[in-house]
Structure 1
Amino acid sequence: MNRYEIKEKYPEQIRAFSLWMKQFGYTEATQKEYIREVLCFLQSLEGGPIEEAGKIGVINFLVSKQKTAGESTRNRTLSAVRSFYSALIDFDLAAKNPALEVRKSKTEKNKKPVYLEEEELVQSLDYINGKYRNRNIAIFLLMGYCGLRVGEVHRLNLLNFKKAKGTIEVFGKGRKWNEIPLPDMLKDYLSKVLEERLTPYSTKEDAFFVSQKGRRLSIRQIQKIAYQTFSAFKEHNPKVTDMNLSCHKLRHSFATMMLKKGHDIRIVKELMGHASIETTDLYTHINDEQKKNAMASVNIPMEVIG
């Protein structure tokens, strides 16, 4: 069955999933990706009833994809199928979620997040140029020094910036609000960016960051700003040439920086908006310098063994 036939076969289920993701605040990019994955999953059922796919149906689909994709892709696909069945259960279109019985790959859990050291993060700011430099620097600062996700930057509205209080209100994953205190420098910088903000064409547009066309800056546009900045940064910094840098790596950098400074992991968890402390624990890297310093503190009594 092709994609058109799949949509004709399961229209209610696909529509329910789309509504469910919008209701729970999934980003547009995630919605498109999950719909694409679910359509592929439905194709694998060959027209059979969704509720009869079972655990084996989900595993068969994942195995077929695994031939051309890595472990992280497999886990993302599994997350999409799990979310799909959760939506069907919420809308009384299914009784159970067979994808919950399928384990995620452990490879992803053991993989260290890619991040920039604090001095590298500072250096990357020098490569942000152009007409909207201040706006773009503010975007980098929110991701690299406050840990915001790209979707959270995209959704940021004027009223979310509490200048007098010195905080921003972030609408994150799971439709949860998180209030983040701002460093004084960043609070002042956001105020400056706000003064330079273009007047939107629509009086109803309340986005904090707007494009040159007067509309809310899209996730794709924010990612493009990051891509162009990192491309220029890599050209002049051989140490990071092979690093896969992106908006999310700025978030990784923030978490790593906070933990290296000795801040309580529970506080970092709240700042990052993580549901589980296990997710935050991924950022507790132990580097070679830390190991060297730890071993240098070992005092072997040479007079005893000499």
Structure 2
Amino acid sequence: MTNKYDIEEIYSEPIQAFTIWMKQSGYTEATRKEYKREVFDYLSSLDELPVQQAGKLHVVSFLVSKQESAGDRTRNRTLSAIRSFYTSLIDFELATRNPALEVKKSKTEKNKIPVYLEEQELKKVLTYVEGRFRDRNLAIFLLMGYCGLRVGEVHRLNLSHFKKEKGTLEVLGKGRKWNEIPLPEMVVDVLVKVAEERIQPYSSKEEAFFVSQKGRRLSIRQIQKIAAQVFDAFKQDHPQMTDMRLSCHKLRHSFATMLLNNNVDIRVVKELLGHASIETTMIYTHINDEQKRSAMTTIEIPVI
């Protein structure tokens, strides 16, 4: 495979076009970085073949090589990156077709039930948020677990996005789309306290709501690390949860499942989650064992 520096020279124009296109299209910094890394690997596999000459076989061959060390979810993300790459080239008239569109996504991911915490389990997790920055970290957990925010959305929050008087939060989601979220009263109280106790930022221009110990915007990786530490402490006291892969996004899954279990209209859940399509929200409409048992108790069997 060709090294990174050769790739940048050989495919400089397509890479530049893709970089500009992603930024213009409103992709987040994290997505741009991830997609660019995936595309670099793909271009390396082409062995200097012009991107316009690559076809479905080249895309599939690359995905198969990746799949040996990764699952369907990773494969689908890689395919999405390559599709976006060719879309950008077509947009800038550097290519005429998108061979990645001819490749189907894995169906396994669509059938996978999201991992989530039951409402009582989520309450227990909150009790493990401790330490010097407890209020700040508790606010982060509340926003993800009880308001459905993505970790990137928590990271991007500014002080001005919190509307104390209205009790709402303006959230910048995927595709640079804004979504106004009504906040539970308890969450408003916690956010007010966090804003008052906020660490003085290193830069006077820093507007981040959540600030690190060093006075900078709390990064996505730092937020994930905070969550991981809380989950580890929780699992130590709940060994039955040891094998459960908990993460920031699982808190969002828990929020969506909690709303649907409380019979909230799926269209409302879609808006609160900031989904572009209701099909995305549908993955949370799984039925748990308790609901199955409850349904069976409604059946009256005659005495024979």
Q: Which residue of 2 aligns with 1:210?
A: 211
Query: What percent identity do the matched residue pairs reach?
Result: 70
State the match for 1:74 in structure 2: 75
Once the 2 structures are TM-superposed, how far is the Cα of residue 90 of structure 1 from its aligned partner?
2.7
Structure 1 unaligned spans of 5+: none
2:200 alignment partner, SS class:
coil
**Could you tell me how far apart the structure 2 residues matched to 1:241 and 1:29 are?**
29
Task: Give the CA deviation at 1:266.
Answer: 0.7
2:53 matched to which residue of 1? 52
Which residue of structure 2 lines up, in the alignment, with residue 181 of structure 1? 182
Name 2:119's counterpart in structure 1: 118
- Which region of structure 1 is more displaced relative to structure 2, 15-24 or 263-272? 15-24
Deviations 1:150-192 (A, max 9, x none): 0000001111111111111111111111111111111111111
Give SS of 1:282's match: helix
Q: In structure 2, the residue corresponding to 1:56 is in which secondary structure? A: helix
SS of corresponding position for 1:46: coil
Q: Distance in 2 between matches of 1:142 and 1:35?
A: 29
Distance (Å, rounded) in 2 between the aligned partners of 1:237 and 1:22:
43
Q: Secondary structure at the match of 2:101?
A: helix
Residue 17 of structure 1: CA displacement? 1.8
For the residues of structure 2 that align with 1:22 and 1:213, how far apart are their CA atoms?
A: 29
Residue in structure 1 matched with residue 270 of structure 2 by the alignment: 269
Residue 160 of structure 1 corresponds to which residue in structure 2? 161
Q: Using the alignment, how far apart are the partners of 1:23 and 1:241 within structure 2?
A: 42
Partner SS, residue 284 of structure 2: coil
The aligned residue for residue 202 of structure 2 is 201
Task: State the alpha-carbon separation in 2 of the partners of residues 72 and 22 from structure 1.
Answer: 24
Structure 2 residue aligned with 1:141 = 142
- Distance apart, 1:289 and its partner CA: 1.3
**Length-normalised TM-score, structure 1:** 0.96
The 2-side partners of 1:130 and 1:182 are apart by 25
Higher mean displacement: 41-50 or 66-75: 66-75
The CA distance in 2 between the partners of 1:74 and 1:34, in whole Å, is 12
Cα distance in 1, alignment partners of residues 131 and 270 from structure 2: 34
TM-score for the superposition, normalised by structure 2: 0.96
The 5-angstrom pairing of residues 10-21 of structure 1 reads 10-21=11-22
Equivalent pair of 2:35/2:81 in contact (CA under 8 Å): yes
| Secondary structure at the counterpart of residue 127 of structure 1 | coil
How far is the alpha carbon of 1:195 from its aligned partner? Answer: 0.4
**For residue 15 of structure 1, what is the amino acid of its counterpart?**
Q
Residue matched to 2:30: 29
Contact 2:28 2:175 in 1 (8 A): no
Mapped to 1, the partners of 2:89 and 2:146 lie a distance apart of 38
Residue by residue over 1:41-93, the C-alpha shift from the partner in whole angstroms, topping out at 9 and shown as x without a partner, is 10121111112212222112112222222111111110111121122223332
Specify the SS of the correspondent of 2:48. coil
> In the alignment, what sits opposite 1:5?
6
The runs of 5 or more residues in structure 2 that have no matched partner are none
Residue identity matched to 1:50: V
Q: 1:23 to 1:240 in 2, by over 3 A?
A: farther
How many residue pairs align between the two structures?
A: 303
* Residue 214 of structure 1, CA deviation: 1.1
Instruction: Please give the secondary structure, in 1, of the residue aligned with 2:181.
Output: strand
The separation in 1 between residues aligned to 2:100 and 2:276, in whole angstroms, is: 20
CA-CA distance at 1:40 after TM superposition? 1.0
Letter aligned with residue 129 of structure 1:
E
